[in-house]
Structure 1
Amino acid sequence: MRETKQWTDSERWALASETGFACAYCEVIFGSVARRPGSEPRIVRMVVEHFTPVSWTGIELDAENLVAACQICNSIKSAHLFDTVANARRYINRRWVQLGYVIEFIPTRSHFEAPELWAREYARYLRTVGIRQDAE
């Protein structure tokens, strides 16, 4: 079993900033809340994703192969191989629709400009939909 790199906060921040703090595939802002029918709401969290799967390249740390993705798209994409991010995006977006995902809460620029207000509003929203902040 191969070891995976543990990304630092600064590495994750730098990668996420390249996509405007949104998933490279679904373009949903990290911190949004998604739900699919019959499931609990999920916070859209960032993961470091290998565009070309490591199972194909064998190279874990190729910076040119890394994108900021959400955990939902990372799971949908899995080890599928695509020639462009646009083609991966089309496939993943179709799967989002087929699986019935909807976005229930999307942070806005004002949330990031006033983080203390955002934190209170976000915590209140998560409580109303029954998500513990330390969940997932």
Structure 2
Amino acid sequence: AAIPFPGVLYCSCVKLFGLCAASVGLSEEAAVKLDMKTAAFTVDSRSKHGMITDMKPWTLKVIFDTKTRKVIGSQIVSMAEAPVKEIDTMNMAIRMGAVPEDLITINCAGHPDLSSEPSAEPISIVGVQASGKI
């Protein structure tokens, strides 16, 4: 049986002078140009568990369409490479039509030296922030 091709959702990341940036989906500005009403939520996190000495800060931003409540875009800015895996998670969230409540229960793989604090999972925190507000 043929599998229908749903199209491609562009996901990108770049590292420049020690700063990493990643993006997927629509920015708030692009959504406004499409006459969409949006709500954006931002969470600050750490690249590693708190007990690791060389952890670095990073910020996750998630953009929702207020009409459908679905995730439509996300960006990450970081001083470390580790959070780039979260942009892939947000890519899948957009593809699957995730709403805030879907994000609350996401649990990304955790390792003290390779991932953000599991007790402060930024994607889940964004879900909590957005739930009931959009």
**TM-score w.r.t. structure 1 length?**
0.31
Between Structure 1 and Structure 2, the one with more strand by share is: 2
Between Structure 1 and Structure 2, the one with more helix by share is: 1
